[in-house]
Structure 1
């Protein structure tokens, strides 16, 4: 079976990760107006509707074609996207993840569960050996998500990245295929 044939929907106890659809544009546009998403991620500022359309359309398709996956995170009740979960195209058995959560849905465990589901898929279906996350040391919410999914902080790389033109430190989190994984 060709793992790139169709992007799967991945289901956990409370959330599902599904491919983005054209009818998600408005939800992505609204979510990315959130100051916290703009603060911690690389979404364009100001965030316009055409950015959302490009994200759910060509960016998601390009990520899938390159070996990664962009997923909408929704509750099992199908309430529409509560966040986003990404596996950037892996290289040499190593993938990097990224995520954001809409403000009304933070602190409810949805993103941690979604990250555990993504990690299981990346290891068990795609055969990756390592997943990484790059997190700003001050982003306590994202650090909590990483740790709830079994990722370990491996170190701080000083001034590793530029965020909106300013040098910032990064905490690198890692999870190996053989590491203990919390239940989804």
Structure 2
């Protein structure tokens, strides 16, 4: 897949580079990112360097884009958003936002933009995007709900976090779903 940069005027999605390693390291040391994601914990600069230099290019090469989320006003990295392969054909979206930039709508804008790319004929051209979050991650659920994901239930022991199975909330967004926000979430 050709590497692409996306923007909606509020956020810019571009692949992370060497200049982002320290910002990624600092953000991923946040206890909430460690609690709600599968990033290594404790998170080291070597983890961020491996992610930027090895993981992201390999994912793009296999058709699984991963972007740095940047505030369009200053270009500073404030998070990550991307897709991972999932059982069947649905890509699964994942994202995190650094503690200093939460509650500004950047995650919602980034997820909306990434999903638009997933559905576009010149993007990933998929009919559906999946979302999973560890049960209790209300911030991630709020973003998914605002974007238009439809809640589908709980998958018991649905995802491993550092070798431990955990229950996950599950939702999906189809290309023909009307834009969010949606109701019907029990949270």
| Matched positions, count | 179
Q: Alpha-carbon deviations, 1:37-75, whole Å to 9, x = none?
A: 001111111111110001111100011011111100001
Output the TM-score relative to the length of structure 2: 0.90
Partner of 1:158: helix, strand, or coil?
Answer: strand
Contact 2:12 2:75 in 1 (8 A): no
Residue 136 (structure 1) aligned with residue 134 (structure 2): yes
Structure 1: how far apart are the matches of 2:32 and 2:39?
A: 11
Calculate the TM-score normalised by the size of structure 1. Answer: 0.91
Mapping of 1:1-16 within 5 angstroms?
Answer: 4-5=1-2, 7-16=3-12
Residue 167 (structure 1) aligned with residue 161 (structure 2): no
- Within the alignment, does 1:26 sit opposite 2:35 as a pair? no
The CA distance in 1 between the partners of 2:75 and 2:14, in whole Å, is 13
Q: Are the equivalent residues in 2 in contact too, given 1:66–1:89 (CA < 8 A)?
A: no
* Structure 2 spans left out of the alignment, 5+ residues: 182-187
Instruction: Give the root-mean-square deviation of aligned CA atoms.
Output: 1.6
Listed one character per residue, the Cα deviations across residues 81-124 of structure 1 (whole Å, up to 9, x for unaligned) are 10000112477642111001000111111001100000000001
Aligned CA distance change for structure 1 residues 172 and 90 (closer, same or farther; 3 Å):
closer
